[in-house]
Structure 1
Amino acid sequence: MSVLLEAIFARADQDGDRIALDDGSRRLLYRDLPCAVAAMAGMIGDAIPGPGPVAIERDNGIDWVIADLALLSLGRPNIPLPPFFMPAQRAAALADAGAAGSITGMGMVLFDHPVAAIPAGTAKISYTSGSTGEPKGICLDDRLMLDTAQAIVARLGDGLADVHFPVLPLAVLLENVAGLYATLLAGGRYLVRPAAAVGLTNPFAINDAQLVAAIDASHATSLILVPEYLARIVDHLERTRNRLDKLRLVAVGGSRVPLSLIERADRIGLPVVQGYGLTECGSVVSLEALGDRNRGTVGHPLNHASVSLASDGEIVVAGHFHLGTIGHPRADGPIHTGDIGTVDEQGRLSIVGRKSSLIITSFGRNVAPEWVEAQLVAQPQIAQAMVYGDGESRLRALIVPSARDADIAAGVAAANATLPAYARIGLWQPSRPFTPADATLTPNGRLRRAAILARLEVRPFFDRLCAETAPARARLLSVPQLQAGLAGRISRTTYLAYLAQAYHHVSHTVPLMRLARSGLAAKPMLVEALDDYIAEEEGHEQWILNDIRAAGGDTDAVVRDGPSSATARMVDHAYATLRDGNPAAFFGMVFVLEGTSIALASNGAEAVRASLGLPETAFTYLTSHGALDQDHMRFFEKLVNGLDDVADEDAIVAMANDIFDLFGGLFAAIPMEDDRAAA
């Protein structure tokens, strides 16, 4: 008989009257387990004869557990298939393993697959999706699963095995071994519910209110979660001020957990421990103990595993582990995990990132993207993030917002505040979600980086410029003075104050163009464009002075008083950037100023004129720039889409973001004290 099953049945002799399995309406005592398993084994043998492997394709429940144990008793490999596998993944896994049949919610199904070369001793074939989306079957024996589960019990203690509430699918090895087997070996109650009953009908679209309510109603004392589930539970508890006071253990694994998320969980009383593991090692390799936690680590290695670091920081695990994959048996030997880690003086392991995804910036700094991503998704505005930018000066990120109106910029800023300068996000853009359905996410929630980057459409630079400056543009448009101007709700005093600052920055437009032109002599396309702009813009500051006179203002005072400090900052930044940086950045300033002029001309000028009763001659600068800058913007789009230098593109994006914020500061500095009376 299976050594794992023997150990579980030993509990039937010791604690026969205790409840082993509970689904809310049906309970099975430990002493009843052997009979239930024998009955299921008989049914499997009759319906799916022969020695071939059998899949389990059922929802979480008592029958899933009994089928799993029955296959152990029969010595037949079990293929637990996660409910989130796509049809093609499911079919590939069944064919790869040569499945003889499957146990489903509707009964048992026979298959006619060719016999596969399964390593001797295989008890479970755990399929991971692999980096290309093709399932890879890891073959495990019952000794490894027993060793792993016993090591978990030894680390946490029998006393914590009271009521375990599975949230992850049982087909996920982490829950199967660390949840089910460890609970049964410790004599606890495994309180299993179908996914729909716990808010996980779609495991990637969590009903957090239902999940928290189900945990609370179950009186669960232990959970195993992936970081996303922990984040959703923490978010819900913070919002509602509810608490899950009966929990004594919340083990989190599957991917790196942001330290800030753990700290938030601590503050609301969730007893979180971190773990680390691999399917190849039976699921869990290291785990914190409740009395020995050092936030940011994943604890000491378990008894069945020995951990060391290679010269490049790669984590290497030694012990009795997986038997190989289908058709490729493996002898015991060290497993090179591909993960980068560190070990502290007390022997606790920390996970830094993945060796294969390591980013090396143009400054020569190594950055594990998982580290930065963890800080991003710890922010409530951000649901998912992928960081990239190998060889670039600044890191980039694709951001999936947590809600339609989420302030992504604020989330990125908060994450950046927790990171050193070299690891901060310099550029980001919104993204649609990453999911297993489109092969951008593995079934256990890891990013498929190559697939995500491949999904990015090859798009014109102008579209990238619009996308990557959208948050900064939104900040500018949210400035109260600009909103009031667009709505026509400003006083004559405020309008004159705006014209005064417009004069002081527009008077520098042509000098800035000439400075940019002098640095772009080797780029004739940009020089020609600047020549056209210079001819077009010469003397426009005089238009503004004419408007000031027509509106009853004092032009001599405007010239004499000079710019506000906010206007001076914007102009000074432009000069410094063109002198000391890439002069192509000037076109980022063009993008901001002309785009804003279009908005003011089309939405604000006539509304302001009508509300103030001023003549049309007081609005020549705005109204002329409305039509003029629309033509300029069409020309600008064609121009920048013809760029062939990434450094120029990056400089334009950076300058546009800077000027959006500086221009917003210019508007914010305009006084509006008497505007209510004017409105």
Structure 2
Amino acid sequence: MREFSLPALYEVPAVGNLTDLIRRNAAQHPNVAVLGRKVEGQWQDVTAATFLAEVRAAAKGLIAFDVRPGDRVGLMSRTRYEWTLLDFAIWSAGAVTVPVYDTSSPEQIQWILSDSGAVACLVETPEHEAIVESVRDGLPALDHVWQIEQDAVAVLEAAGDEVTDTAVDERSAAATADSPATIVYTSGTTGRPKGCVLTHRSFFAECGNAVERLKPIFQTGESSVLLFLPVAHVFGRLVQVAAVLAPIKLGHVADVKTLTTELASFRPTLVLGVPRVFEKVYNSARAKAQADGKGKIFDKAAECAIAYSRALDTSGGVPLGLRLKHKVFDRLVFSKLRAVLGGRATHAISGGAPLGERLGHFYRGIGFTVLEGYGLTESCAATTFNPWDRQKIGTVGQPMPGSVVRIADDGEVLLHGEHLFSGYWNNETATAEALSEGWFHTGDVGTLDEDGYLTITGRKKEIIVTAGGKNVAPAVIEDRIRAHALVAECMVVGEARPFVGALITLDEEFLPRWAAEHGKPADSAAADLRFDPELRAEVQRAVDDGNAAVSKAESVREFRILPTQFTEDSGHVTPSMKLKRNVVAKDYADEIEAIYHG
């Protein structure tokens, strides 16, 4: 058993709750733009004083509609300004926010709102409202539904016109640090989602220590972050609360398809995302360079960036010749890539899955450092992350200051600290299984090095044991294969089988480009090309790259390209894009059999 901890850098307030942050900002930085809001296609600044006033007005409306301290209120919307406004309004009314993914099914929505006992729900669109209404017979506690696109904020403000400031102040003070702030339902790869109860203390400990440890990239009045992750996900919520706590300017993007345009107009100094975003930026840039006849230049520039980054970690530093080459490529290639990311950002924080060492070094080499972290809903998002000044590429960093990471005898990662959830809502059995003597059992397997940097090697329950008795952790090889531009998703199989195989889906954005470049019909779909020899050869190269990271016994010997995608709608991935392996294995049982008997 091995463990590592770092002393806390932030002291959780003895009294109060998260609403204190917006009052503090308005008092100390009244004219500082703490949020950016898109109005008629243009970004408009929202000062700390204005944001507080808007939150208070919406909170008065909730109070007028008889939302009481401790009541649960659902919030179902894409990432937008109103999400953050209404989240703080719910807290200011003394209530508890229950996030709901805007892509959730009627069954999921009914379960989350009924299990939490939500008395009200704020939805974004008419379609969302229609879904809630369709399951309302199963929601006896639900009294109110308001729609953001039907002026929900204005409706609340009008209803609360006669509610006094004193009443809001009393409600805002109702919650303590140990009161529930939110119930975030885990998307879960099996069974019904469980509601993780995260307290105000959880967010204070999480965001306070993260901001302090990353202080140079959280500078009030200078730094900014553009949030495009779902705020219903705990990682998106971390971004929101950390920005308000710092405070730094926070903007929202509802549609990831417009991300490049929004990055260029908002120009954040900090980007938070998942590896797939950074993989897409790299793959798209490389594909564009190839289409323009500059593929060799791009590849040489990428190798230069990687070599430059690796040299930064050596005692001798970067050799003069490499520095000169890097300077040339910075003008020709790297500066253009940074411009795609807004032009001002120097750092990014990535979580959800491993980025991979090659891309980690590539991005640092172009002057855009991606700091990887690791966490779960139960740990209020990040529980480890790479510090800005002591990054170890290939790891998910050191423990959050004030917390402890322990590796159990069987390799499982255990966590301890104030940032952890207090339990699962209405589920004492699941809580007892996950929390033991203050330690949260993550279900992940990992290692700690001598400096306390954590590396995640897989999931306990996802370890595959082949017929030959070899234990295989799928994450390592899957992440390498998935890094290829043509590959959307990869799932390794092989439980009780003679060798390891893989199911692979193709990236729908990149496939038409590849098809055109290789003389195939431009409108070709995966179903048309999955047996094409050239395409299989390209995917084989991705598999070969993945195999290079593991032993021969763990390597993929056969694969099947699937005609369809793994999507949330198909039931094969969770809203946070985690594979539902048991569902995939069941639905594609014939394809798996074909790997071994085809």
TM-score, normalization by structure 1: 0.63
In structure 2, what is the Cα distance between the partners aligned to 1:166 and 1:279? 18
> What letter matches 2:232 in structure 1?
A
Distance 1:347 1:391 in 2: 35
Higher mean C-alpha deviation, range 341-350 or range 134-143: 134-143
SS where residue 285 of structure 1 aligns?
Answer: strand
Call closer, same or farther: CA 1:344–1:457 in 2, change over 3 Å: closer
Give the match for residue 440 of structure 1: 572
| Corresponding residue SS for 2:503 | strand
Counting only pairs closer than 5 Å after superposition, residues 303-452 of structure 1 correspond to structure 2 as 303-320=401-418, 321-328=420-427, 333-402=438-507, 403=511, 404=526, 406=535, 407-431=538-562, 432-452=564-584
Distance 1:23 1:176 in 2: 17
Equivalents in 2 of 1:433, 1:293: separation in Å? 35
2:421 maps to a residue whose letter is H
Q: For 1:393 and 1:265, locate their aligned partners in 2 and report how far apart those are by CA, in whole Å.
A: 39
1:11 maps to which of 12, 25, 35: 25
Change (3 A) 1:460 1:58: closer
Question: Distance between the aligned counterparts of 1:50 and 1:192, measured in 2?
Answer: 29
Structure 1 unmatched runs, 5+: 200-209, 469-645, 654-679
Contact 1:299 1:348 (8 Å CA) reproduced: yes
State whether structure 2 residue 181 is matched by structure 1 residue 181. no
CA distance in 2 between partners of 1:391 and 1:265 (Å): 39
Aligned residues of 1:2 and 1:73 also touching (Cα < 8 A): no
Give the structure 1 partner of residue 276 of structure 2: 228
Q: After the TM superposition, which of the residue ranges 283-292 and 56-65 deviates more from structure 2?
A: 56-65
The aligned amino acid for 2:249 is R
Alpha-carbon separation, structure 1, partners of 2:103 and 2:267 = 27
Closer/same/farther in 2, CA of residues 17 and 376 from structure 1, 3 Å limit: same
1:459 and 1:272 mapped to 2: Cα distance? 37
State the Cα distance separating 1:335 from its structure 2 match.
Answer: 0.4
Equivalent position amino acid for 1:33 in 2: F
Which structure is higher in strand share?
2
Instruction: List gaps (5 residues or longer) in structure 2.
Output: 1-14, 143-175, 289-332, 512-525, 530-534
- What value does the CA root-mean-square deviation take over the aligned residues? 2.6
Which structure has the larger Rg over C-alpha atoms? 1
The answer to whether the Cα contact below 8 Å between 2:189 and 2:578 also exists between their aligned partners in 1 is no
Taking the aligned partners of 1:238 and 1:212, their CA distance within structure 2 comes to 16
Of Structure 1 and Structure 2, which has the larger fraction of its residues in helix?
A: 1
Shift of 1:401: 1.9
In the alignment of these two chains, the number of paired residues is 451
Q: Distance in 1 between the 2:94 and 2:68 partners?
A: 11
State the SS of the aligned residue for 1:243: helix
Pairs within 5 Å for 1:198-597:
198-199=256-257, 210-240=258-288, 242-244=336-338, 245-320=343-418, 321-328=420-427, 333-402=438-507, 403=511, 404=526, 406=535, 407-431=538-562, 432-458=564-590, 464=594
Name the CA shift for 1:459/1:190 in 2 (closer, same or farther; >3 Å): closer
The separation in 2 between residues aligned to 1:40 and 1:460, in whole angstroms, is 53
Match of 1:103 among 122, 125, 138: 122
The one-letter amino acid paired with 1:369 is P
Equivalent-residue separation in structure 2 for 1:122 and 1:460 (angstroms): 44
CA contact (8 A) 1:260 1:378 kept: no
Determine helix, strand or coil for the equivalent of 1:393. coil
Q: 1:160·1:248 contact (CA, 8 Å) conserved in 2?
A: no
Q: Which moved more, 1:136-145 or 1:58-67?
A: 58-67
Q: Is the 8 A contact 2:189 2:579 kept in 1?
A: no
- Pick aligned residue for 1:136 from 170, 194, 198: 194
**What is the alpha-carbon distance in structure 1 between the residues aligned to residue 247 and residue 187 of structure 2?**
33
User: Is the 1:316–1:335 Cα contact (8 Å) retained in structure 2?
Assistant: yes
SS in 1 for 2:569: helix
Deviations 1:602-658 (A, max 9, x none): xxxxxxxxxxxxxxxxxxxxxxxxxxxxxxxxxxxxxxxxxxxx7xx4xxx6xxxxx
Identical amino acids, percent of aligned pairs? 26
Residues 160 and 249 in structure 1, CA contact (< 8 A), matched pair in contact too: no
Counterpart amino acid of residue 180 in structure 2: T
Q: Cα distance 1:439–1:48, how it changes in 2: closer, same or farther (>3 A)? A: farther
Correspondence for 1:44 among 48, 59, 62: 62
**1:380: Cα distance to partner?**
2.0
Task: Report how far residue 318 of structure 1 moved.
Answer: 1.0
The one-letter amino acid paired with 1:175 is: G
Contact 1:234-1:264 within 8 A present in 2 as well = no
Stretch of structure 1 that moved more, 352-361 or 452-461: 452-461
- Relative to structure 1, the CA distance from residue 216 to residue 136 in structure 2 (aligned partners, 3 Å threshold; closer, same or farther) is same
C-alpha distance in 1 between matches for 2:52 and 2:270:
25
Whether contact under 8 Å (2:75, 2:123) holds in the other structure is yes
CA distance in 1, matches of 2:269, 2:480: 28
Q: Could you say what secondary structure the match of 2:19 adopts?
A: helix
Question: 2:53 pairs with 25, 32, 35, which one?
Answer: 35
Tell me: CA distance 1:383–1:266, structure 2 relative to 1, closer, same or farther (3 Å): farther
Tell me if structure 2 keeps the 8 A contact 1:219–1:246: yes
CA separation of 1:222/1:133 partners in 2, compared to 1, >3 Å: closer, same or farther? farther
Q: Could you list the per-position Cα deviations for residues 385-409 of structure 1 after superposition, in whole angstroms to 9, with x for gaps in the alignment?
A: 0001123332110011222454322
